[in-house]
């Protein structure tokens, strides 16, 4: 008792205030909600404040790598082609969704939502690298920035005297990132597409239904491999920033998009290397766990809906019962205890022929039920099951709304937009990510950057604009 | 003619889409003249057919067909009795061209129609405001109307 | 040298295909001179040489590591998400310790179709380990600690005091209840960056669940929860439902990888903030479903635009034509080219062999405009005719013909072909490592391995369970091997 009194209050372990005491006793869920505080991100600092980056990028892969930095608080300047903008701005699903304007000179051309989420929070300027007059502003920007990311064919920036061996002379702290399809080697000039990444890397050969069942390899939706590869660059950039704190030196990173897709092929590569076995597709089931797959139910959850995605497609369920007691319970529910008798050990039921038999039985059982019925029966029995959700259900989900993953934002230029990026990359309690805007018209920040940051007079900017240098 | 059935009776080209028909056996009906053809496709090669099967019912309809000698008159997906429907669409309507909208699904203004009145400053600059009242006052009016009627939602 | 072989079982094939019989690479990579010629075609030999001199994979070993000195703990079971996050940091030089229960991470026991012959055996202990685990256990130490015991948790807390970053993947609230969650650890180590990585959330109406019998929720739940699975696959209009015309999951646990890399980004950004600005750590939560949702392009924004629910389109792309793969004589061929210039070049290339193609495509008024070519009918027609050409040629021929016209085209490669692709051997993204325990293993190299100053690298692959107990317990906790034996007997380690 006396010992404790001698230690000053501030130095004793445990909560130091009532707030802290409350925080420590709060139920965990409530604690998480309080500490992450979705919706109030702007009150907290940004992790990468003070970092400035140049985005000489196009399409999705390299822009996303830089956009991650912008979401974390870096100031990013995106450089586009004069009047045209990023080519990605001209894509839109089924040609249907565009925001206007792209540029006042082309009032009937919009910015497609194909490039949404890829250039978040950035300042958009235009610059024609081919023109000699633009070298000086480019170098000024380099001297004032921490790094750049570019995606032009190798040798292009070098010809324009903008590659790393030139830039490291004027800014030794500069971090230079080249992102593209292949990198040095025989296919160095190969163009890089997301779909090329999937097909060359072996990822497409292991996704889709098996050949024996009449299946073909299938493409991952939209361009998600582009995005996945882009984030890997960001990891490299942040590591380079860390190392630079110690040594004061920048670096050059050469990054191949197609390689990232091979990196995520899991056991496929070592399996081939050691045993010569080439992994094949296995559809909606899992090669290493059983039962752990997606089954089709007899009825959709919205039989009267107008939208075909609801009326016809909302009938798939992800079921997972690979541990022995779970599998036993599952067999009881589908009234096939013989399956459990036959496949009591996981090693037996994960074999290919066994999986065919088991899933067939599962789908027969589900053939007269709707998706939510199946999920309810399994969940009530304590097993893990979840519907395969579609975009509408994600929008209406109380879970994502509460966590701020899906939210509406009124974009400064384009108005109301439904956002599912940025905040969804992760909750950070002290330096959360945030989104100010999605994209901006071509050249929207020419004055802001050229005049206010780089010090060029307005008359010069007007002249450049008329000469189509910017 | 394989992967396509060029029906010589009516000069309609019926397109047999590559994934469905890659390994397939059965009867397809021509979209132009209702003749039923039997085919047996293996690895995309027409192993047997097309053979006419008069009087028999088809197993499947083509997804799309057109007539090259007739200005490429097209039979789009979903014509009753001629082509099979393409159901897997994101909405019940399919536009295929820009969907101009002034309001999002929750009835807040959205700058998604053309043409927009010019609003750029020097060298294409834009600020950080969509001055709806000034640039598109009719939309602003409509927005206020919707608000009054309680149609403007949070979600 | 030909020889007679009798094959009566799968096991018989192993002797023929093992890396002793058939070492990788089967054919050597192209030589430097051949590659210089490629650079020369676009007048970039000097630049190409400069790049290679500074970025070659093989030079990584004489360069420093970017994250040297950063200490990371990885604690979780079953999943790849926390493993991948920690791998990314370990490849860049961080010191990563994987804390496993005394029985080991259950992922060690998983193997395709349960085939134990595909597992690798430790040459010292005979212990078998699955390839999925080995491939993702890069540069990490393995220690065992029983977190279900109080003494185990005390030791864990002491360990947590010495580290910068923790990647944790237990079910929601479990570590908190055990007194070793962020709330408790941040008291004793306010500089700690704590990252929880899961499937759908550690809080919220859809948070991760554990089944009544204790089974965890694993990928592809994350993929299903964010609409990725719904949007991927062939539509039932192109393939029969139940036989491929269904929403399809990725062949790999993709959302785990995506969550892992975002967790690494967030952790490194938090590290930057801590060291540059504040001196404070923080709590970070990344989920597979949400990280995956971030990269679904415009799918959910599209719903907010006009209530469209993204539909699947197989291996065609609804935004671009041509941008797809289609079946050919020996597999599948990808052809890409949306602009008018590329569109007509593809026509020119194909009609050399198949004049009908040129006629049916170029005469059709509906296909004249770029935007109109994205209409579904246009996609059906274009790809049907393209397959008609492709069915008679194999991938190599198709690629050569298309490249003559400067069209981006590539074959769909199977994993063995990827491993033997000349470019991927020259600039290795598959490589071998001779591991002390498991022998020679072929693995996918880190994409961050091509850097001028601090390239990523794989120093070891796989780690027998608890191999580093003695070293780590001594170095970090001051516990010698006698004490360690006692702890082991008590079941703490």
Question: A382 and A418, same structural domain?
Answer: no
Residue-level pLDDT at A299: 93
Cα A111 to Cα A89: distance, rounded to the nearest angstrom: 5
Residue-level pLDDT at C227: 94
Rounded mean pLDDT of A243-266? 94
Question: A66 and A139, same structural domain?
Answer: yes
Does C332 sit within 8 Å of A204, measured CB to CB? yes
Q: Does residue B155 fall inside a structural domain?
A: no
Q: What is the pLDDT of residues A369-395, one digit of tens each?
A: 999 999 999 999 999 999 999 999 999
Write phi, then psi, for A31 (nearest 5 degrees): -60, -45
Q: Does residue B125 fall inside a structural domain?
A: yes
Is residue A1 very low, low, confident or very high in pLDDT (cuts 50, 70, 90)? very low
Q: Where are the domains of chain C?
A: 71-295+461-490, 323-413
Does C387 sit within 8 Å of B18, measured CB to CB? yes
Q: Please check whether residue B155 touches C, CB under 8 A.
A: no
Number of domains in chain B: 2
Whether residue A2 is predicted with pLDDT greater than 60 in this model: the reply is no
**A360-372 core/surface letters (b: 16 or more CB in 10 A; e: else):** ebbeebbeebbbb
Whether residue A22 is predicted with pLDDT greater than 80 in this model: the reply is no
Write phi, then psi, for C425 (nearest 5 degrees): -95, -35
Residue-level pLDDT at B71: 85
Cα C114 to Cα A351: distance, rounded to the nearest angstrom: 6
Question: B113 and B68, same structural domain?
Answer: no
Q: What is the pLDDT of residues A262-274, one digit of tens each?
A: 999 999 999 999 8
Other beta carbons within 10 angstroms of residue A143's beta carbon come to: 13
Q: Please report, rounded to a whole number, the percentage of residues in chain A having pLDDT higher than 90.
A: 81
Q: Quote the minimal CA–CA distance from C441 to chain A in Å.
A: 6
Question: Residue ranges of the alpha helices (H) in A59-134?
Answer: 61-71
Tell which residue, A82, A78, A87, has the closest CA to residue A59: A87
Nearest to B115 among A108, A306, A415 (CB): A108
Q: Does residue B94 fall inside a structural domain?
A: no
DSSP C275: I
Q: Quote the minimal CA–CA distance from A348 to chain B in Å.
A: 32
Q: What is the pLDDT of residues A93-142, one digit of tens each?
A: 878 899 998 888 888 888 989 889 999 999 999 999 999 999 999 999 99
Residues 6+ apart with CB under 8 A from A74: A48, A49, A51, A52, A53, A146
Question: A238 and A364, same structural domain?
Answer: no
Residue-level pLDDT at B1: 41
Residues 6+ apart with CB under 8 A from C216: C77, C78, C79, C171, C208, C210
Question: B51 and B10, same structural domain?
Answer: yes
Whether residue A221 is predicted with pLDDT greater than 90 in this model: the reply is no
Residue-level pLDDT at C167: 97
Question: B61 and B120, same structural domain?
Answer: no
Residue B127 belongs to domain spanning: 101-148
Whether residue A159 is predicted with pLDDT greater than 50 in this model: the reply is yes
Residue A6 belongs to domain spanning: 2-34
Does C130 sit within 8 Å of A288, measured CB to CB? yes
Q: Does residue B80 fall inside a structural domain?
A: no
Rounded mean pLDDT of A275-294? 93
β-sheet bridge partners, residue C194: C166, C283
Residue-level pLDDT at A191: 77
- Supply the CATH classification number for the domain C71-295+461-490: 3.40.50.10540
Ordered DSSP codes for C169-232: -SSTTHHHHTT-SHHHHHHH-TT-EEEEEESS-SSSTT-----TTSPPP-TTHHHHHTTHHHHS
β-sheet bridge partners, residue C120: C129
- pLDDT tens, position by position, for chain C (493 residues)? 677 878 888 777 777 777 777 788 888 999 999 999 999 988 899 999 999 999 999 999 999 999 999 999 999 999 999 999 999 999 999 999 999 999 999 999 999 999 999 999 999 999 999 999 999 999 999 999 999 999 999 999 999 999 999 999 999 999 999 999 999 999 999 999 999 999 999 999 999 999 999 999 999 999 999 999 999 999 998 888 888 899 999 999 999 999 999 999 999 999 999 999 999 999 999 999 999 999 999 999 999 999 999 999 888 887 788 888 999 999 999 998 877 888 889 989 998 988 888 888 888 888 888 777 877 888 889 999 999 999 999 998 998 898 888 888 889 999 999 999 999 999 998 999 999 999 999 999 999 999 999 999 999 999 999 999 999 999 999 999 999 999 999 999 9
What are the tokens at C450?
């091509």
Partners of residue B21 in chain A, C-beta under 8 Å:
none
Does B87 sit within 8 Å of C365, measured CB to CB? no
CA angle A285, A290, A295 (to 5 degrees): 45
Which of these ranges, A322-326, A348-352, B80-84, C110-114, has the smallest mean pLDDT? B80-84
Rounded mean pLDDT of B65-92? 87
C370, C340 Cβ separation under 8 angstroms: yes
B-facing residues of C in 200-239 (CB < 8 A) are 234-239
Q: Does residue A46 fall inside a structural domain?
A: no
Q: Does residue A404 fall inside a structural domain?
A: no
Q: Please check whether residue B42 touches A, CB under 8 A.
A: no
- N-term to C-term CA, chain A: 76
Is residue A15 very low, low, confident or very high in pLDDT (cuts 50, 70, 90)? low
Residue-level pLDDT at C474: 96
Q: Quote the minimal CA–CA distance from A204 to chain C in Å.
A: 7
Residues 6+ apart with CB under 8 A from C230: A309, A313, A316, A388, A389, A390, A391, C224, C247, C310, C312
Whether residue B111 is predicted with pLDDT greater than 80 in this model: the reply is yes
DSSP A219: P
Residue-level pLDDT at A5: 52
Q: Quote the minimal CA–CA distance from A442 to chain C in Å.
A: 20
Are β-strands B45-52 and B64-67 bridged in parallel, bridged antiparallel, or unpaired? unpaired
What is the chain C residue with the closest CA to A287?
C112
Return the CATH number of C323-413, one of 3.30.1540.10, 3.40.50.12280, 1.10.569.10, 3.40.1190.20.
Answer: 3.30.1540.10
**B98-124 core/surface letters (b: 16 or more CB in 10 A; e: else):** bbebbbbbebbbbbbbbebeebbeebb
Residue-level pLDDT at B8: 87
Cα B44 to Cα C383: distance, rounded to the nearest angstrom: 13
Q: Does residue A228 fall inside a structural domain?
A: yes
What are the tokens at A283?
């559809």
Residue-level pLDDT at A445: 95
Tell which residue, A70, A55, A81, A262, has the closest CA to residue A179: A55
Residues 6+ apart with CB under 8 A from A334: A361, A362, A365
Q: Does residue A347 fall inside a structural domain?
A: yes
Boundary-marking domain end, from B57, B75, B93: B75
Q: Does residue A272 fall inside a structural domain?
A: no
Q: Does residue A279 fall inside a structural domain?
A: no
Question: Residue ranges of the alpha helices (H) in A248-323?
Answer: 257-263, 268-275, 308-311
Residue-level pLDDT at A328: 96
Q: What is the pLDDT of residues A180-217, one digit of tens each?
A: 989 999 989 887 788 888 999 999 999 999 988 888 99
Q: ipTM for the complex?
A: 0.94
Question: B105 and B140, same structural domain?
Answer: yes
Tell which residue, C429, C419, C414, C90, has the closest CA to residue A274: C419
Mutate to test the interface with B, among A211, A415, A463 (most CBs of B within 10 A): A415
Number of domains in chain A: 3
Question: A214 and A132, same structural domain?
Answer: yes
DSSP C107: G
Q: Does residue A270 fall inside a structural domain?
A: no
Q: Does residue B42 fall inside a structural domain?
A: yes
Q: Does residue B114 fall inside a structural domain?
A: yes
| CATH assignment of the domain containing A216 | 3.40.50.10540
Q: Which chains touch B (3 or more CB pairs under 8 A)?
A: A, C
Q: Does residue A43 fall inside a structural domain?
A: no
Question: B114 and B59, same structural domain?
Answer: no
A461, B122 Cβ separation under 8 angstroms: yes
Question: B71 and B8, same structural domain?
Answer: yes
Residue-level pLDDT at C1: 63
Question: B124 and B70, same structural domain?
Answer: no
Residue-level pLDDT at A7: 61
Q: Quote the minimal CA–CA distance from C410 to chain A in Å.
A: 7
Residue-level pLDDT at B96: 72
Length of chain B: 155
Question: A164 and A89, same structural domain?
Answer: yes
Chain centre distance of CA C25: 22
Chain centre distance of CA C332: 22
């Amino acid at each position: 008792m006396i010992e404790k009194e001698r230690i000053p209050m501030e130095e004793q372990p445990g909560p130091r205030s009532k707030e802290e005491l409350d925080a420590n006793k709060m139920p965990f869920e409530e604690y998480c909600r309080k500490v992450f505080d979705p919706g109030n991100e702007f009150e907290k600092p940004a992790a990468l404040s003070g970092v400035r980056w140049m985005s000489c990028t196009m399409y999705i892969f390299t822009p996303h790598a830089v956009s991650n930095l912008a979401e974390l608080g870096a100031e990013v300047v995106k450089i586009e082609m004069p009047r045209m903008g990023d080519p990605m701005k001209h894509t839109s699903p089924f040609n249907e969704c565009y925001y206007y304007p792209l540029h006042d000179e082309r009032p009937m051309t919009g910015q497609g939502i194909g490039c949404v989420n890829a250039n978040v929070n950035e300042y958009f300027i235009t610059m024609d690298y081919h023109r000699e007059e633009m070298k000086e502003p480019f170098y000024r920007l380099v001297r004032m920035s921490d790094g750049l990311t570019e995606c032009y064919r190798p040798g292009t920036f070098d010809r324009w005297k903008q590659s790393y061996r030139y830039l490291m002379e004027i800014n030794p702290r500069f971090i230079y990132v080249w992102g593209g399809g292949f990198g040095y080697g025989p296919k160095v000039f190969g163009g890089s597409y997301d779909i090329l990444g999937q097909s060359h890397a072996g990822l497409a050969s292991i996704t889709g239904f098996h050949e024996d069942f009449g299946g073909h390899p299938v493409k991952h939706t939209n361009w998600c491999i582009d995005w996945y590869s882009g984030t890997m660059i960001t990891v490299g950039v942040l590591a380079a920033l860390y190392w630079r704190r110690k040594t004061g030196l920048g670096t050059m990173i050469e990054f191949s998009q197609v390689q990232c897709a091979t990196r995520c092929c899991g056991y496929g590569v070592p399996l081939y290397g050691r045993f010569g076995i080439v992994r094949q597709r296995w559809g909606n089931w899992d090669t290493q766990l059983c039962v752990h797959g997606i089954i089709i139910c007899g009825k959709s959850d919205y039989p009267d809906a107008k939208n075909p995605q609801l009326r016809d497609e909302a009938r798939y369920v992800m079921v997972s019962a690979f541990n022995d007691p779970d599998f036993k319970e599952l067999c009881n529910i589908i009234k096939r205890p013989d399956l459990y008798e036959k496949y009591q050990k996981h090693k037996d039921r994960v074999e290919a022929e066994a999986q065919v038999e088991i899933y067939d039985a599962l789908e027969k059982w589900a053939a007269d039920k709707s998706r939510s019925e199946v999920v309810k029966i399994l969940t009530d029995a304590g097993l893990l099951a979840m519907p395969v959700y579609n975009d509408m259900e994600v929008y209406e989900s109380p879970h994502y709304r509460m966590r701020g993953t899906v939210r509406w934002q009124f974009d400064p230029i384009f108005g109301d937009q439904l956002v599912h990026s940025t905040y969804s990359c992760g909750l950070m309690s002290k330096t959360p990510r945030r989104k100010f805007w999605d994209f901006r018209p071509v050249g929207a920040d020419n004055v802001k950057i050229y005049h206010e940051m780089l010090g060029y007079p307005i008359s010069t900017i007007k002249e450049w604009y008329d000469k189509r240098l910017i | 003619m394989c992967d396509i059935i060029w029906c010589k009776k009516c000069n309609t080209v019926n397109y047999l889409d590559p994934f469905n028909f890659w390994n397939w056996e059965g009867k397809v009906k021509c979209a132009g003249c209702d003749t039923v053809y039997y085919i047996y496709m293996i690895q995309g090669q027409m192993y047997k057919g097309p053979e006419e099967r008069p009087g028999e019912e088809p197993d499947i309809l083509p997804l799309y067909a057109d007539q090259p000698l007739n200005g490429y008159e097209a039979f789009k997906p979903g014509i009753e009795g001629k082509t099979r429907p393409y159901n897997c669409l994101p909405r019940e309507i399919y536009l295929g061209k820009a969907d101009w909208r002034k309001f999002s699904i929750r009835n807040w203004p959205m700058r998604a129609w053309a043409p927009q009145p010019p609003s750029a400053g020097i060298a294409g600059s834009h600020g950080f405001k969509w001055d709806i009242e000034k640039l598109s006052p009719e939309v602003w009016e409509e927005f206020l109307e919707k608000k009054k009627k309680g149609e403007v939602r949070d979600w | 040298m030909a020889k007679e072989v009798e094959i009566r079982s799968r096991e018989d094939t192993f002797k023929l295909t093992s890396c002793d019989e058939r070492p990788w690479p089967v054919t050597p990579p192209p030589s430097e001179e051949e590659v210089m010629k490629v650079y020369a075609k676009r007048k970039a030999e000097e630049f190409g040489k400069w790049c290679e001199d500074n970025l070659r994979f093989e030079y990584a070993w004489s360069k420093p590591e970017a994250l040297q000195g950063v200490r990371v703990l990885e604690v979780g079971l079953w999943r790849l998400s926390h493993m991948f996050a920690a791998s990314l940091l370990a490849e860049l030089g961080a010191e990563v310790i994987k804390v496993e229960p005394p029985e080991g991470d259950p992922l060690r026991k998983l193997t395709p179709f349960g085939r134990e012959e595909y597992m690798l055996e430790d040459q010292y202990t005979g212990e078998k380990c699955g390839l999925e685990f080995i491939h993702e256990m890069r540069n990490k130490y393995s220690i065992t600690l029983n977190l279900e015991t109080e003494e185990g948790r005390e030791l864990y807390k002491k360990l947590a005091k010495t580290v910068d970053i923790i990647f944790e993947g237990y079910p929601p609230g479990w570590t908190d209840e055990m007194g070793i969650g962020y709330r408790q650890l941040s008291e004793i180590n306010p500089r700690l960056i704590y990252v929880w990585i899961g499937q759908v959330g550690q809080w919220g109406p859809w948070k991760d669940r554990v089944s009544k019998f204790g089974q965890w929720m694993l990928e592809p739940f994350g993929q299903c929860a964010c609409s990725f699975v719904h949007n991927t696959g062939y539509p039932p209009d192109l393939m029969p439902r139940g036989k491929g015309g269904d929403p399809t999951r990725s062949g790999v646990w993709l959302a785990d990888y995506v969550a892992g890399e975002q967790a690494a980004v967030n952790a490194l950004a938090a590290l930057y903030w801590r060291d540059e600005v504040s001196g404070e750590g923080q709590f970070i939560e990344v989920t597979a479903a949400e990280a995956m949702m971030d990269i679904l392009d415009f799918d959910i924004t599209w719903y907010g635009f006009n209530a469209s629910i993204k539909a699947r389109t197989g291996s065609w792309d609804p935004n671009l034509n041509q941008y797809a793969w289609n079946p050919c004589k020996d597999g599948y061929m990808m052809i890409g080219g949306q602009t008018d210039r590329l569109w007509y070049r593809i026509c020119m290339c194909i009609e050399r062999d198949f004049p009908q193609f040129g006629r049916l495509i170029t005469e059709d008024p509906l296909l004249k405009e770029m935007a109109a070519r994205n209409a579904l009918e246009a996609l059906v027609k274009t790809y049907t005719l393209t397959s008609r050409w492709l069915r008679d040629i194999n991938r190599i021929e198709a690629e050569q013909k298309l490249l003559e016209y400067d069209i981006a085209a590539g074959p769909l490669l199977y994993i063995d072909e990827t491993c033997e692709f000349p470019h991927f051997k020259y600039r290795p993204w598959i490589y071998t490592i001779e591991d002390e325990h498991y022998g020679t293993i072929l693995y996918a190299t880190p994409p961050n391995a091509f850097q001028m100053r601090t390239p990523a690298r794989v120093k070891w692959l796989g780690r027998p369970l608890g191999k580093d107990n003695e070293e780590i317990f001594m170095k970090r906790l001051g516990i010698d091997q006698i004490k360690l034996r006692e702890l082991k007997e008590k079941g703490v380690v």
